[in-house]
């Protein structure tokens, strides 16, 4: 067996935790450096995997399989393909930049980074594992630190939000768990291996039943309307790095699960339920954007904009073709980077100004030109401007979905207009206008604070100009599944 | 293969300004003069390459509208989506490239003087370079996708430049308005591009042209044509999406000249020319385009006669002239539309730069506070008059030839109503333009100002543009053989025959407009105030721009924001309320049996797990039974 590079990604944060455990609390600089190195390592490893992933072969690569619980058929199985690799890369980038965004943290630094690294280890596990049992396990590993991180280090209504988030996520995962156990019992093969389960055929009644559970379960995570209210509250309450991970990565677990465990294992069930997702996702897109327009707190704007943007992911999933699903995966990546950038910027403003109310600001571009530039770039990504990767992802979703649900897709495209309205209003009200002397003592970002902004903006721009580096990998991962399991393209009927 | 450096290195035409943008933004920001020189140098490179392409086209006769040169590289290759970035070189591209690079170069030189002393000097040049990159990428595009991408990017540069003085509330308001209005239009454009792609399987202009000419699905072509046309309605400021352009005058004046008069706003017309076959194959689409253009021309001119702000009058004049171009395309003459685009670019850029020169000197924009400026600013005044004569359509100035061709097409193609409307508009044009000139440059000084002629970096571009405004129209004059129409056309070259009826009447109409302006504002034989008072409701209606902005404002504030607030309330009280209700039920039930609740997370986990197992057994029981 070759070098277990995927396990190394998983272990890097764990190693970080172990090291931090032995560092005294007051050495917070050192703790941060260790966290930065541990997460930097994950970025490096995922880039190495990206460079060595052989697209001409495709499929799962860097596979590791260790039997875990023989009696149950649980295997510690890891592997990446064109769908999970971009999300692994996303996780690594977001957590690495998230550490730098938490550089100014002073409260209980040691515990904070321990929980943060535990959280991210769980998230990596979800994307890396090829076994449904571990998929579920890693997900639960991610939820608990999230609860603690928000409950202890959060702001604005943090106990309520932390509890709400945890309950929603656990209820969602309970639905998914039922489906997992059901499929395990149904096949009777005694395995949780996703690939094996994907190759089985299931009778249509069971498919409808199982997909429904997954749709609701992962719908909680995405979050699909009307299960979304935990997410804006959670975003707002969470400390910066956790917001970044939460909106940037954790929500993507839902979309990823829906694709990997939902439509690939139960294609007929997916075809049955897809129109429901199609309609709910339009509610996500349009309703989310309209609600975002009314928000007064910057973080709530971004929170609802995430609800709106994840609607595009659901639209891509519901359309069940290579292009739309690839677009959905790309949109998860693009949105993850963009929203992490947003939260990093807002976190920075909040740390210095101690408010996030839009009405308190105005003319901030005078004092914080770099923050303003970063915010404009994130905003433009959010409204789908060409030159930033979000546009390519959205465009792929639109083209892929249009032939399936023309009416719904047109409604979804209208989302880009509404997004432009609320994003540009925020930009205008916060950053433009006359200089406000009240904020004269605010300092612009510099030095280490710049790291997240530069990296995340760089990724958005680079992949915006050269999208083939991302899109063709994803296409390569999605296409074989679609060719094999989802050959009939038309599912929408009148929509 | 045709030997040409310009064609071989055509990718450098847009990339040179992009490089300049990157260099200025990341390296030269502190060095003002170096920033300006970098931008100017990149423009010189692009212009030289463009001139070489023009040389090949004018001398070689190998590249025509029907035998273009195309090159492309794959940009994205997915199952179901293949996208290229490329260049399509034909006389249409070459002509537009020349207009953009040449005017950009002049305006950058002018800006060195105009922006002198501005703290954002380098930022200004970096944005300008970004704009030129986007615009040139749009012009050379060989497919709709690329067109759309750069279409959005010119929108971005426009946004950045309108908001250049971001510390002014009005500028921050105007750039948002511009972007959102264009977004509404791009919504239609994007859907149009997507359905074209899904129907024909390609974005490529040439392949689409083949598909469209072979297609007989009129309903589809009409729909696609209208949807794509919505894009130009926004970008080229056609009614009812024109509202952003007058407000865009909040940007620095060189920007108004380059982007919001000469080049970017003409991108809509260029798109109509580039995708001409799509529009012309559906009679309903092309007729709609013609009437919308004609109406916009008239509509904007009626507003222009009442405005007081130097730049806003020019902005409404731009809208009106864009209406002419769109109408020309709608009348089926790509040649006339593009010809007017070209001459308009010269004389409108000229007039905006004159406006900049005056504003730079006086620090005033209201023409009623000016008067007698000509005595202090001879070069600016003279060149402004040349621009005025050109737009009014006095022979032999540039606008005369191009406007005449449009009138001629309207007449020969039997669109009598549009011919009349365009003639009335021509009268209004001559009137409002000379109202502006007489009020600002002649008569007595009406307020306290200190004027002086602008520096040479500003006046030299004025003089060059003035030359083009005088003689530029001759390239398309009907008595010139191998003129504009023998290069830029659709299908077959169509050489216009001089129609002395049209020429004579249009000259008379223009002269009458100027004469009326002279009577009112110089001779004061007619009192403008009296007429305004007599027709007060009409005057107010025109002065308030037909109240279109107010309608939109009302719609946004009352309708959109109310819906938004309502949904926000629902989210907090209904969607969340139900969740809270469920939580309450559980809590109340829990209170009754709280002794089983230990308060530890592990117990809860255990309960959840147990519940899950029970549910699974319940639901999956029959299924499992069946398997065994």
Q: Which residues of B453-463 are buried (b: 16+ CB within 10 A; e: fewer)?
A: ebeebbbebbe
Residues 6+ apart with CB under 8 A from A488: A271
Instruction: Indicate the pLDDT class of residue B13, thresholds 50, 70 and 90.
Output: very high
Give yes or no for residue B628 having a pLDDT over 60.
Answer: no
Partner residue opposite B76 with nearest CB, options A167, A392, A427: A392
Instruction: Indicate the pLDDT class of residue B598, thresholds 50, 70 and 90.
Output: low
* pLDDT score recorded for residue B406: 92
Tell if the CB–CB gap between B167 and A432 is shorter than 8 Å. yes
* pLDDT score recorded for residue B2: 67
pLDDT digits (tens, 9 = 90+) for B89-145: 999 999 999 999 999 999 999 999 889 888 889 999 999 999 999 999 999 999 999
Instruction: List the helix and strand counts (H, then E) for chain B.
Output: 28, 2
* pLDDT score recorded for residue A63: 85
* pLDDT score recorded for residue B597: 55
Partner residue opposite B80 with nearest CB, options A321, A383, A391: A321
pTM: predicted TM-score of the whole model, two decimal places: 0.91
Which spans in A356-449 are helix H? 369-382, 389-402, 406-431
* pLDDT score recorded for residue A493: 46
Distance separating alpha carbons of residues A416 and A283, to the nearest angstrom: 14
Give yes or no for residue B76 having a pLDDT over 60.
Answer: yes
Distance separating alpha carbons of residues B628 and B623, to the nearest angstrom: 9
Give yes or no for residue B304 having a pLDDT over 80.
Answer: yes
**Closest chain B CA to residue A369:** B166
> Closest Cα of chain A to B298: distance in Å?
29
Tell if the CB–CB gap between A174 and B183 is shorter than 8 Å. no
Residues in B touching A182 (Cβ below 8 Å): 616, 619-620, 623
> Closest Cα of chain B to A83: distance in Å?
14
> Closest Cα of chain B to A495: distance in Å?
16
Tell if the CB–CB gap between A182 and B616 is shorter than 8 Å. yes
Partner residue opposite A174 with nearest CB, options B163, B184, B612: B612
How far apart, in Å, are the Cα atoms of B16 and each of B40, B79, B255, B259, B542?
10, 33, 20, 19, 44
Partner residue opposite A399 with nearest CB, options B180, B197, B561: B197
pLDDT digits (tens, 9 = 90+) for B578-589: 877 887 887 777
Distance separating alpha carbons of residues B264 and A26, to the nearest angstrom: 59
Tell if the CB–CB gap between B198 and A399 is shorter than 8 Å. yes
Partner residue opposite B80 with nearest CB, options A167, A295, A323: A323
pLDDT digits (tens, 9 = 90+) for A420-455: 999 999 999 999 888 888 888 888 888 888 899 999
* pLDDT score recorded for residue A87: 94
Give yes or no for residue B626 having a pLDDT over 50.
Answer: no
| Total Cβ atoms within 10 A of residue A95 | 29
Give yes or no for residue B454 having a pLDDT over 90.
Answer: no
Q: Which residue of B79, B608, B617 is the best one to mutate when testing the A interface, meaning the one whose CB has the most A CBs within 10 A?
A: B79
Give yes or no for residue B600 having a pLDDT over 70.
Answer: no
Distance separating alpha carbons of residues A442 and A427, to the nearest angstrom: 18
**Closest chain B CA to residue A230:** B576
Strand pairing category for B81-89 and B69-78? antiparallel
**Closest chain A CA to residue B602:** A144
Report residue A402 as tokens.
């249009």
Q: What is the mean pLDDT of residues B267-290?
A: 93
Nearest-CA neighbor of A449 among A358, A368, A362? A368
Q: Give yes or no for a contact between B40 and B127, defined as CB atoms under 8 angstroms apart.
A: no
Partner residue opposite B187 with nearest CB, options A182, A416, A471: A416
Which spans in B77-143 are helix H? 91-114, 121-140
Distance separating alpha carbons of residues A348 and A456, to the nearest angstrom: 15
Tell if the CB–CB gap between B176 and A403 is shorter than 8 Å. no
Complete DSSP assignment for B413-454? TT-HHHHHHHHHHHHHHHHHHHHHHHHHHSSS--S-----PP
Residues in A touching B191 (Cβ below 8 Å): 410, 413
* Per-residue pLDDT tens listing for chain A (495 residues): 578 888 889 999 999 999 988 888 888 888 889 999 999 999 999 999 999 998 888 888 888 888 888 778 788 888 899 999 999 999 999 999 999 988 888 888 888 899 999 999 999 999 999 888 888 888 888 888 888 888 888 887 888 888 888 888 888 888 888 888 888 888 888 888 888 888 888 888 888 888 999 999 898 888 888 888 888 888 888 888 888 998 889 889 989 999 988 888 888 888 889 899 999 999 999 999 999 998 888 989 999 999 999 999 999 999 988 899 999 999 999 999 999 999 999 988 888 888 888 888 888 888 898 999 999 999 999 999 999 999 999 999 999 999 899 999 999 999 999 999 999 999 999 998 888 888 888 888 888 888 999 999 999 999 999 999 999 999 988 888 888 877 654 544 444
Give yes or no for residue B22 having a pLDDT over 90.
Answer: yes
**Closest chain A CA to residue B617:** A182
Residues in A touching B198 (Cβ below 8 Å): 399, 402-403
B35: left (phi over 0), alpha (psi -120 to 50) or beta: alpha
Q: What is the helix (H) or strand (E) element at residue A97, kind and residue range?
A: helix A84-101
Q: What is the DSSP letter of A434?
A: S
Tell if the CB–CB gap between A467 and B75 is shorter than 8 Å. yes
Tell if the CB–CB gap between A414 and B187 is shorter than 8 Å. yes
Q: What is the mean pLDDT of residues B148-164?
A: 93
pLDDT digits (tens, 9 = 90+) for B407-439: 999 988 888 999 999 999 999 999 999 999 999
pLDDT digits (tens, 9 = 90+) for B306-315: 998 999 999 9
> Closest Cα of chain A to B463: distance in Å?
37
Residues in B touching A368 (Cβ below 8 Å): none
Distance separating alpha carbons of residues B135 and B151, to the nearest angstrom: 8
Tell if the CB–CB gap between B194 and A396 is shorter than 8 Å. no
Partner residue opposite B620 with nearest CB, options A186, A229, A398: A186
Residues in A touching B168 (Cβ below 8 Å): 433-434
Tell if the CB–CB gap between A399 and B153 is shorter than 8 Å. no
Residues 6+ apart with CB under 8 A from B467: none
Among A174-188, B218-232, B293-307, name the one with the lowest average pLDDT: A174-188
Tell if the CB–CB gap between B620 and A181 is shorter than 8 Å. yes
Q: Which residues of B533-571 are buried (b: 16+ CB within 10 A; e: fewer)?
A: eeeeeebeebeebeebeeeeeeeeeeeeeeebeebbeeb
Backbone angles phi, psi at B232, to 5 degrees: -60, -30
Q: What is the helix (H) or strand (E) element at residue B69, kind and residue range?
A: strand B69-78
Residues in B touching A391 (Cβ below 8 Å): 149, 152
**Greatest distance between any 2 Cα atoms in chain A:** 70
Scan for tokens 């004046």, then name that residue: B253
Q: What is the helix (H) or strand (E) element at residue B569, kind and residue range?
A: helix B561-570
3-state secondary structure of B554: helix
Residues in A touching B80 (Cβ below 8 Å): 321-323, 399-400
> Closest Cα of chain A to B557: distance in Å?
12
Tell if the CB–CB gap between A410 and B191 is shorter than 8 Å. yes
Distance separating alpha carbons of residues A204 and A186, to the nearest angstrom: 13
Q: What is the DSSP letter of A239?
A: -
3-state secondary structure of A3: coil
Give yes or no for residue B617 having a pLDDT over 80.
Answer: no
Residues in B touching A185 (Cβ below 8 Å): 616, 620, 623-624, 627
**Closest chain B CA to residue A465:** B75
Q: Would the CA dihedral through A40, A41, A46, A51 be positive or negative?
A: positive
Tell if the CB–CB gap between B191 and A420 is shorter than 8 Å. no
Complete DSSP assignment for B288-329? HHHHHHHHHHHHHHHHHTT--BHHHHHHHHHHHHHHHHHHHH
Tell if the CB–CB gap between A434 and B166 is shorter than 8 Å. no
Distance separating alpha carbons of residues B242 and B236, to the nearest angstrom: 8
> Closest Cα of chain A to B528: distance in Å?
38
**Closest chain B CA to residue A385:** B152
> Closest Cα of chain A to B188: distance in Å?
9
Residues in B touching A365 (Cβ below 8 Å): 166-167
pLDDT digits (tens, 9 = 90+) for A20-45: 888 888 888 888 899 999 999 999 99
Distance separating alpha carbons of residues A458 and A463, to the nearest angstrom: 8
* pLDDT score recorded for residue B627: 44
Distance separating alpha carbons of residues B160 and B181, to the nearest angstrom: 15
Q: Give yes or no for a contact between B217 and B169, defined as CB atoms under 8 angstroms apart.
A: no
> Closest Cα of chain A to B521: distance in Å?
38
Q: Which residue of B131, B141, B172 is the best one to mutate when testing the A interface, meaning the one whose CB has the most A CBs within 10 A?
A: B172
Give yes or no for residue B623 having a pLDDT over 60.
Answer: no
How far apart, in Å, are the Cα atoms of A374 and each of A32, A451, B168?
24, 12, 21
**Closest chain B CA to residue A435:** B167
Q: Which residue of B620, B621, B627, B628 is the best one to mutate when testing the A interface, meaning the one whose CB has the most A CBs within 10 A?
A: B620
Q: Give yes or no for a contact between B39 and B24, defined as CB atoms under 8 angstroms apart.
A: yes
* pLDDT score recorded for residue B539: 84
Q: Give yes or no for a contact between A49 and A85, defined as CB atoms under 8 angstroms apart.
A: yes
* pLDDT score recorded for residue B6: 82
Instruction: Indicate the pLDDT class of residue B369, thresholds 50, 70 and 90.
Output: confident
Distance separating alpha carbons of residues A222 and A231, to the nearest angstrom: 9
Q: Give yes or no for a contact between B373 and B446, defined as CB atoms under 8 angstroms apart.
A: no
Partner residue opposite B149 with nearest CB, options A323, A380, A386: A386
Residues in A touching B619 (Cβ below 8 Å): 178, 182, 209
Q: Give yes or no for a contact between B376 and B452, defined as CB atoms under 8 angstroms apart.
A: yes
> Closest Cα of chain A to B544: distance in Å?
25
Q: What is the mean pLDDT of residues B28-42?
A: 90
Tell if the CB–CB gap between B183 and A417 is shorter than 8 Å. yes
Complete DSSP assignment for A303-319? HHHHHHHHHHHHHHHHH
- Partnered with residue B516 across adjacent β-strands are none
Contacts 24+ apart (CB under 8 A), A166-169: A167/A230, A167/B583, A168/A220, A168/A223, A168/A227, A168/A230, A169/A143, A169/A220, A169/A221, A169/A230
Task: Quote the Cα angle for A17-A23-A28, to 5°.
Answer: 95
Distance separating alpha carbons of residues B296 and B291, to the nearest angstrom: 8
Burial category of A318 from C-beta neighbours within 10 Å (exposed 0-12, middle 13-18, buried 19 and up): buried
| Total Cβ atoms within 10 A of residue B288 | 17
**Closest chain B CA to residue A415:** B187
Between B614 and A450, the higher pLDDT residue: A450
């Amino acid at each position: 067996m070759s070098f277990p590079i995927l396990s190394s990604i998983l272990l890097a944060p764990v190693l970080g935790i172990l090291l931090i455990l032995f560092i005294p609390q007051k050495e917070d600089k050192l703790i941060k450096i260790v966290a930065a190195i541990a997460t930097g390592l994950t970025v490096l490893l995922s880039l190495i995997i990206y460079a060595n992933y052989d697209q001409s072969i495709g499929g799962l690569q860097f596979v590791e399989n260790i039997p875990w619980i023989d009696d149950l058929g649980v295997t510690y199985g890891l592997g990446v393909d064109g769908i999970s690799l971009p999300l692994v890369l996303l996780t690594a980038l977001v957590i690495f930049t998230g550490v730098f965004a938490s550089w100014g943290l002073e409260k209980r630094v040691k515990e904070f980074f321990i929980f943060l690294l535990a959280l991210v280890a769980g998230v990596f596990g979800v994307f890396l594992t090829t076994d449904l049992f571990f998929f579920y396990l890693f997900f639960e590993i991610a939820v608990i630190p999230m609860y603690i991180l928000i409950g202890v280090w959060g702001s604005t209504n943090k106990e309520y939000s932390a509890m709400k988030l945890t309950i929603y996520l656990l209820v969602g995962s309970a639905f998914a768990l039922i489906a997992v156990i059901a499929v395990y019992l149904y096949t009777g093969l005694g395995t949780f291996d996703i690939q094996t389960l994907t190759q089985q055929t299931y009778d249509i009644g069971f498919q409808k039943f199982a997909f429904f559970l997954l749709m609701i379960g992962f719908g909680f995570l995405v979050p699909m309307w009307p299960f979304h209210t935990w997410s804006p509250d959670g975003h707002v309450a969470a400390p910066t790095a956790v917001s970044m991970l939460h909106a940037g990565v954790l929500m993507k677990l839902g979309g990823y699960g829906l694709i990997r465990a939902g439509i690939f294992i139960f294609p007929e069930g997916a075809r049955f339920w897809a129109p429901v997702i199609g309609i709910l996702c339009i509610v996500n897109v349009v309703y989310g954007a309209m609600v975002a327009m009314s928000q007064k707190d910057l973080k709530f704007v971004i929170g609802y904009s995430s609800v709106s943007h994840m609607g595009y992911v659901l639209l891509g999933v519901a359309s069940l073709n290579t292009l739309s699903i690839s677009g959905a995966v790309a949109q998860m990546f693009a949105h993850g980077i963009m929203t992490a950038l947003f939260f990093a910027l807002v976190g920075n403003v909040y740390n210095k100004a101690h408010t996030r109310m839009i009405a308190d600001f105005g003319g901030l571009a005078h004092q914080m030109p770099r923050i303003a530039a970063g915010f404009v770039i994130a905003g433009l990504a959010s409204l789908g401007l060409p030159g930033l990767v979000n546009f390519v992802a959205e465009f792929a979703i639109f083209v892929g979905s249009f032939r399936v649900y023309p009416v719904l897709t047109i409604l979804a495209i209208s989302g880009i207009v509404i997004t432009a309205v609320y994003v540009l209003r925020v930009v205008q009200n916060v950053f433009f206008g006359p200089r406000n002397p009240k904020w004269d003592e605010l300092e612009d970002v510099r030095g280490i604070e710049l790291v997240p902004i530069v990296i995340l903006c760089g990724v958005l721009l680079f992949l915006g100009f050269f999208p083939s580096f991302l899109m063709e990998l994803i296409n390569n991962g999605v296409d074989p599944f679609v060719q094999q399991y989802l050959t009939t393209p038309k599912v929408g009927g009148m929509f | 293969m045709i030997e040409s450096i310009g064609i071989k290195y055509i990718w450098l035409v847009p990339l040179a300004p992009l490089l300049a943008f990157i260099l200025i933004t990341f390296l030269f920001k502190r060095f003002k003069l170096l920033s300006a020189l970098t931008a100017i140098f990149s423009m010189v490179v692009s212009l030289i390459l463009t001139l070489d392409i023009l040389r090949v086209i004018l001398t070689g006769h190998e590249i025509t509208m029907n035998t273009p040169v195309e090159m492309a590289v794959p940009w994205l290759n997915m199952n179901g989506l293949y996208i290229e970035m490329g260049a399509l070189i034909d006389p249409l591209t070459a002509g537009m490239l020349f207009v953009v690079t040449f005017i950009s170069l002049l305006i950058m030189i002018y800006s060195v003087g105009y922006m002198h002393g501005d703290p954002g000097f380098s930022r200004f040049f970096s944005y300008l370079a970004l704009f030129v990159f986007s615009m040139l990428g749009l012009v050379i595009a060989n497919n709709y996708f690329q067109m759309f991408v750069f279409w959005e990017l010119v929108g971005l540069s426009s946004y950045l430049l309108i908001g250049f003085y971001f510390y002014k509330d009005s500028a921050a308001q105007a750039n948002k308005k511009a972007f959102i209005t264009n977004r509404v239009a791009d919504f239609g454009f994007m859907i149009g591009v997507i359905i074209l792609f899904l129907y024909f399987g390609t974005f490529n202009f040439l392949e689409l042209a083949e598909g469209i000419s072979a297609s007989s699905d009129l309903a589809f072509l009409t729909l696609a044509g209208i949807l794509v046309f919505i894009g130009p309605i926004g970008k080229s400021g056609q009614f009812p999406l024109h509202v952003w352009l007058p407000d865009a005058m909040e940007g620095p004046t060189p920007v108004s000249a380059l982007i919001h008069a000469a080049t970017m706003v003409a991108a809509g017309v260029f798109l109509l020319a580039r995708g001409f076959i799509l529009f012309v194959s559906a009679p309903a689409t092309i007729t709609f385009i013609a009437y919308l253009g004609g109406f916009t021309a008239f509509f904007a001119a009626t507003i222009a006669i009442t405005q007081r702000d130097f730049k806003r009058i020019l902005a409404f004049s731009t809208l009106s002239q864009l209406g002419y171009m769109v109408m020309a395309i709608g009348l089926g003459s790509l040649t006339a539309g593009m010809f007017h685009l070209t001459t308009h670019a010269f004389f409108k850029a000229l007039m905006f730069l004159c406006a900049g020169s005056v504003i730079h000197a006086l620090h005033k924009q209201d023409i009623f506070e000016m008067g007698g400026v000509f005595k202090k600013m001879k070069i600016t005044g003279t060149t402004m008059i040349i621009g005025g004569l050109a737009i009014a359509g006095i022979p032999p100035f540039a606008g005369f030839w191009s406007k005449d061709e449009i009138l001629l097409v309207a007449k020969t193609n039997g669109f009598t109503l549009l011919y009349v409307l365009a003639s009335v508009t021509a009268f209004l044009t001559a009137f409002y333009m000379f109202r502006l000139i007489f009020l600002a440059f002649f008569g007595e000084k009406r307020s306290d100002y200190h004027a002086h002629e602008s520096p040479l970096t500003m006046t030299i571009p004025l003089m060059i543009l003035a030359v083009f405004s005088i003689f530029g129209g001759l390239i398309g004059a009907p008595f010139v053989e191998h003129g504009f129409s023998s290069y830029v056309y659709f299908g077959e070259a169509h050489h216009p025959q001089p129609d002395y009826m049209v020429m004579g009447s249009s000259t008379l109409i223009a002269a009458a407009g100027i004469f009326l302006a002279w009577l009112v504002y110089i001779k004061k034989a007619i009192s403008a105030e009296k007429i305004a008072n007599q027709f007060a409701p009409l005057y107010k209606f025109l002065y308030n721009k037909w109240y279109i902005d107010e309608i939109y404002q009302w719609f946004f504030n009352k309708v959109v924001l109310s819906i938004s607030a309502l949904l926000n309330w629902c989210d907090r009280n209904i969607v969340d309320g139900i969740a809270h209700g469920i939580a309450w039920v559980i809590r109340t039930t829990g209170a009754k049996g709280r002794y089983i609740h230990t308060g530890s997370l592990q117990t809860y986990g255990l309960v959840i797990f147990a519940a899950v197992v029970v549910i699974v057994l319940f639901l999956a029981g029959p299924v499992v039974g069946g398997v065994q």
